[in-house]
């Protein structure tokens, strides 16, 4: 029987260049994504609407910066 391996939590460096579909903001008007068991806050400074594909471009103070993909 093989031992299951655990995927380590994603780091912000691992996420740069990754793309995903932006979801709707939560009740606090925050954009959040869960990746590899880690909760990430998304800065939507370009007012990209939910449902659009975005790419992680950088991170600042534990907040992922995104642009249209």
CB 22 within 8 A of CB 42: yes
Give, in degrees to the nearest 5, the angle at Cα 20 between 19 and 23.
Answer: 150
For the entire predicted model, the pTM comes to 0.76
Q: Find the distance separating the first CA and the last CA of the chain, reported in whole Å.
A: 42
CA dihedral 7, 40, 69, 14 (to 10 degrees): -40
pLDDT at 1: 53
- Using one digit for the tens of pLDDT, what is the confidence trace for 47-68? 999 999 999 999 888 899 999 9
- What architecture is domain 12-68? Beta Barrel (2.40)
Q: Is the pLDDT of residue 7 over 60?
A: no
């Amino acid at each position: 029987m093989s031992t299951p391996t655990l995927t380590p939590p994603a780091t912000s460096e691992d996420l740069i260049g990754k793309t995903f579909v932006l979801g709707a903001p939560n009740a606090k008007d925050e954009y959040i994504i869960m990746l590899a068991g880690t909760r990430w806050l998304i800065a939507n400074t370009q007012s990209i609407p939910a449902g659009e594909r975005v790419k992680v471009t950088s991170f600042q103070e534990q907040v992922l910066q995104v642009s249209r993909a």
